Structures are given as C-alpha cells and as structure tokens.
Amino acid sequence: MWVQKEITLSRHPRGFHIITDHIIRELPQIKDISAGLLHIFIKHTSASLTINEDADPTVRIDFESHFNETVPENAPYYRHTLEGPDDMPAHLKSAILGSSVSIPIGGGKLILGIWQGIYLCEHRDHGGSRRIVLTVNGD
Amino acid sequence: MWVQKEITLSRHPRGFHIITDHIIRELPQIKDISAGLLHIFIKHTSASLTINEDADPTVRIDFESHFNETVPENAPYYRHTLEGPDDMPAHLKSAILGSSVSIPIGGGKLILGIWQGIYLCEHRDHGGSRRIVLTVNGD
Amino acid sequence: MWVQKEITLSRHPRGFHIITDHIIRELPQIKDISAGLLHIFIKHTSASLTINEDADPTVRIDFESHFNETVPENAPYYRHTLEGPDDMPAHLKSAILGSSVSIPIGGGKLILGIWQGIYLCEHRDHGGSRRIVLTVNGD
C-alpha cells in the first residue's frame, strides 16, 4: 500500500515549529497500516525537517539561537549574498538538519518516542508557505 | 515483506558506539531479502544514530570531542537548562546527526561500505537504555 | 517493484557537486512508478550526500568554505591524524551531512523542488571514485 500526498504549510516565522498533529491529520490511512514507514520531504532548500523534543518550547528557541550562532549571517567567506543575509545560512542549516525525516508506522500509528515531535525548521526571515510531500508505504 | 521490531539497547556511556553486529543479530530475516532497505529509528531526543568508520576507535573519541566543542554545554544563549548542562546540547547533537539511518539490503545482506558501521550516539551523561525501532522492507 | 543498482562516480575534486542528472540517467525505471521512493546511499565514511540549491554555483563554494571553518583540519583535540589532516574532518562532515538521501517519486518522476539538486559532498583531497547504491521502491 502506497499513499502519497503533497501539502502546503502556511507561512511560519523564522524558527522551529512543531507540525506533528498537522501531518497526522493529513494521513488517516495510517490507521490501516500494521507495519510501514512515513517519509516526509520538504521541497525547499532554505527550510528543513527534523525530529526533536516537543514539550518545553524553550528547546525550540535554543535551536534557533544555536544555529544562528554556528551558521552566522554575513560570514566573511560567503559569496552567495545577493538573496539577502539570511539566505546562505538558510541553505547551510537545511543541509545540516536535512530535507526529509522518516518515521516507522506500527499498529495503525506513527511510532514516535514520548517526547518526539516533527519540526518544521524555517530558516528564512520571510520564507512564505512551504510544500511538503508525504509518502506512506506499508502493509 | 515487512519486518518490524522494537529493541532496547542497554545503557551506554556518553560517546559514540558501534552497534552494527547487535542490529544484524536482531534481524535474521535479512538473509531472505534480495533487494530492500533497513530503517533504524531511535525513539529519543537526546541520543542519535549515524554511520561512520568502524575501524580505528580514535575516530569515535574525536567525534565526542568535536561535538562537545561545537555544541558546548552552558552556552550563554540556552534557556532550556533545568534538565542539566548536558541536556540542551544533547537535543542539538541529536538533530544534527539525526534520529534515523537507512541502509540498503541486497543479496541477503546489509550493503555497507568496508569501513562503515552503525553508531549509537549517546549524548547524555546518564542516558539509560535506549529504544530502537527496526523496520525492514524488501523482496 | 524494487530496483537496486550500485554505481561508481568517477573522482570528483574536494567540494560539493551536483549529481542529479547522473542519478536519473541510471534509473529509467522511475518513469514507470506512480508513487514510490528513491534511496541513495554512499558506501564511504569521508564523502556524503545532501540535497540543496542547484542554481548558483557560489552556493556550493560557500558550502565548502563553511564546513572547512566549522570542522577544521588540525583541531588540537583530534587523535585520529595518521591518515592526513583532511581525514578526520571528512568523517565528521560525512556524519553531519549524512550517508543517504531519500526522495519521493510520483507520476514517473523524482519529486524535487524547483531549486533542489542532489549533491555529492567530497570531503577528501584525493577521494578517488565513490560507490553509490540506488534503491527504488514503488508501484
């Protein structure tokens, strides 16, 4: 069984945002799968996806602070500067965090640890809406 | 063909550890698969998985040193500090390295390069045991 | 439907290189798949794969500069130094960027965003040719 669906996430401000419930709502077919995988892919190079703690919101604030510190704007070695100071760091952060996550499905549910949530990582100041491809494969 | 199994890895000290043989022992079904994929997922936000050199043990020591240098404890910008100085860095390291790896299966074996091994990356001082979901899909 | 194929990429200089067209040429079977996934795996621990902007070539130059800055050669804490100053950084960069990417397939095509390309990330000065395993699964 394959399910594939492209969805649009409305504009999120720069930072890290939990989208777990949004993704699950889009995929009622998960409840029919006893064993499988969900693949989530973002069709952009300046926003990314990861999995991390979904409880204390200060974790997401610290993610934004940390990546701004280690992937700074206006680094003297950047040559790709025409699209604004937030653009090249956004490309680098996307590659470090990744453009997809995949999560096991078992017993009709996503198998996530108790503290795990899916993050949309918006690295641009004005990233606009973002397109995501959801692919489910399972029995 | 789908095989899915949740296993527990006993407590490992903070650092990088090779778990390739442990994973393979859990999945005798791999030998029946001519083409497929193994997906390995860790159900935690302060430990992660990656693939890297499994020969010289100093590589794993250098991994620990490097990530401690670039994702420091007690960074002045951290707000999520209540769970101890090793907690927020553990979340960041997990996101950078990732919560899953996937590896091709061919001819009844995991297809890994000659120097590649699967690493459990334990980012907490006292992380305890860790739960891992193994999902195999193939023909 | 499963397709699996191991290919060799000829030697690329240290840096970031777009290999999207090369991969697509190797997999004419993609055109017969209405929904599926392509998994690309590199069998090495000092080169990696990622997805990022394939338009302006200065983006790839900035990738090389940035990773050289944040994963330096000759860090005082490295113990794994016998294989040359570019070796340990190559292992670290590989783990940060990752040894695989997976991309949805839909309507007989890879589903990539308009600016997305597949990067081979060569982290060694003299990495030689690189072996890649392509695994396609779909309906």
Looking at chain B, which subunits does it touch, using at least 3 CB pairs closer than 8 Å as the criterion?
A, C
- Are B17 and B51 in contact, with CB atoms under 8 Å apart? no
Per-block average pLDDT, block size 10, for chain A (139 residues)?
98 98 98 98 98 97 98 98 98 98 98 98 98 98
Give the HSE-up count for residue C18: Cα atoms under 13 Å, Cβ half-sphere: 15
Q: Using an 8 Å CB-CB cutoff, list chain C residues near B115.
A: 44-45
Q: Number of A:C CB contacts under 8 A? A: 91
pLDDT at position A116: 98
When pLDDT is cut at 50, 70 and 90, the band that residue B136 belongs to is very high
Give the residues across from C50 on adjacent strands: C119
Supply the pLDDT for residue A85. Answer: 98
The residue of B27, B42, B70, B80 whose CB has the most chain A CBs within 10 angstroms, and thus the best one to mutate to test that interface, is: B80
State the DSSP H helix or E strand holding residue A87, giving kind and residue range, or none if neither: helix A87-97
Q: Which of A27, B53, A43, B90 is nearest to C48 (CA)?
A: B53
Per-residue pLDDT band for B103 (boundaries 50, 70, 90) equals very high
Task: Please tell me the predicted confidence (pLDDT) of residue B104.
Answer: 99
Q: What is the mean pLDDT of residues C102-117?
A: 98
Mean pLDDT of chain C: 98
Check C96 against B101: CB less than 8 A apart: no
CB contact under 8 A, C79 and B101: no
Q: Which two tokens stand for residue B32?
A: 């029946």
Contacts of C69 in chain A (CB under 8 A): 75, 77
| pLDDT value for C7 | 98
Count the residues in chain A: 139
Helical pair A87-97 and C57-70, crossing angle rounded to 10 deg: 70
Q: What are phi and psi of A65, to 5 degrees?
A: -65, -45
Mean pLDDT to the nearest integer, B92-119: 98
Provide the residue type at C12 as one letter: H
pLDDT tens-digit map of B67-94 = 999 999 999 999 999 999 999 999 999 9
Q: How distant is the Cα of A48 from the closest Cα of chain C, in angstroms?
A: 11
Residue A10 to chain B, least CA–CA distance (Å):
23
Q: Chain C residue closest to A133 (CA)?
A: C104
Average pLDDT of span B6-26: 98
For residue A116, list chain B residues with Cβ-Cβ distance below 8 A. 43-45, 99
Q: Which residues of B touch A (CB under 8 A)?
A: 2-4, 6, 39, 41-45, 70-71, 75, 77-80, 88, 91-92, 94-96, 98-100, 102, 131, 133, 135, 137
Q: What is the DSSP string of B18-65?
A: E-HHHHHHT-GGGGG-SEEEEEEEE--SSEEEEEEE-S-HHHHHHHHH
Report the residue of B16, B40, B49, B59 to disrupt the C interface, i.e. the one with the largest count of C CBs within 10 Å.
Answer: B59
In this predicted structure, what is the pLDDT of residue C14? 98
The rounded distance, in Å, linking the Cα atoms of C59 and C54 is: 8
Q: Do B99 and A101 touch (CB under 8 A)?
A: yes
Q: Quick one: pLDDT at residue A19?
A: 98
Structure tokens at A117: 């949530």
pLDDT for the residue C63: 98
